[in-house]
A = this chain, B = another copy of it.
Amino acid sequence: MAARLSSAADYEGLLDKYETWMFDCDGVLWHGDRLIDGAIQVLDLLRSRKKKVIFVTNNATKSRKSYKGKFDALGVEAHVDEIYGSAYAAAVYVSSVMKLPKDKKVYVIGQKGVEEELAEEGVSFLGGTDPADVTLAPFSLDDFTLDPDVGAVLCGLDMQINYTKLCKAFQYLTRNPDCVFLATNEDSTYPAGGGLLPGAGAISAPLRYALGRDPISIGKPASTMLDCIKAKINFDPTRTIMVGDRLNTDILFGQNGGLSTLLVLTGITAEADISGPTASSIVPDFVTQSIGDLRVVAAAN
């Protein structure tokens, strides 16, 4: 059973125990463009205690650099090398794990964030935001030339998903030998404008269905994301805590990586998901209502 944190001593204990704090962002630090109460103070508290702070997001629509702009706009201190996104992790996976040869390319279903991170890693790509592929014009195989150098299809959240992109990706995945099917992440939905919209997993779903097979997924809960972080910074998993609002991404990600986990209830997960007859089988180590709750420590000091 998850430990419910409530007293200043509970939070003080947590602060003592963990030296590296990994945060999901949306639903934990903010909701869209609205900060969660106390988030900034708690991050400041962690930094003042010399904790290592890492931001781990499945949002693949933005590169780390442009995601930093989001922190800046909300007045949250963050450095690009503290930010790990699924677009970045996917680009690192393509260049360093798959070791895609330099003369090969990635066909992208996704937005600028994916393209920017691939470019940063020196990976060639096509599709994505190319106006030729951002179209609702009819797709015909007669007008399509298969590029034999496409060695992977990478799918992320793409709000300009369309049939041309799906058809091209499907051709590469069925006609180019050994073409690898990758997804930045498999979130079924994401919070936006006070509701939920279909997430990155829904964008790769047509290919998954047409192919009858699943992509290699890079973002949380997959360990690929943690491998990326490990390659860049040192941390002791036994003294690291993952803070998130989603059981099947954030909390499972922490558990898969041998980290401790703290669930906050300011995002996707509701009380009914963690207690009672409808509770999930994924159980975090700790639960608190909001990341802002940790302010009690600052106040107590």
Contacts and interface: CB of A to CB of B under 8 A. Distances in A.
Given A136-B134, A193-B141, A202 B198 contact: no
B159 A193 contact: no
A198 B171 contact: no
Nearest to A196: B174
B209 A140 contact: no
A45 to B, nearest CB: 34
Interface string A98-142: 000000000000000000000000000000000000111011111
Given A188-B212, A203-B206, A141 B198 contact: no
Contact of A159 (B138, B141, B161, B188): B138
A208 interface: yes
Contacts of A159: 138-139, 163
A268 B140 CA distance: 19
Contact of A205 (B162, B171, B206): B206
Contacts of A9: none
A162 to B, nearest CB: 6
19 contacts: A135-B136, A136-B162, A141-B193, A141-B197, A142-B193, A158-B163, A159-B163, A160-B163, A161-B163, A161-B166, A166-B202, A188-B210, A189-B210, A198-B210, A202-B205, A202-B206, A203-B206, A205-B208, A208-B209
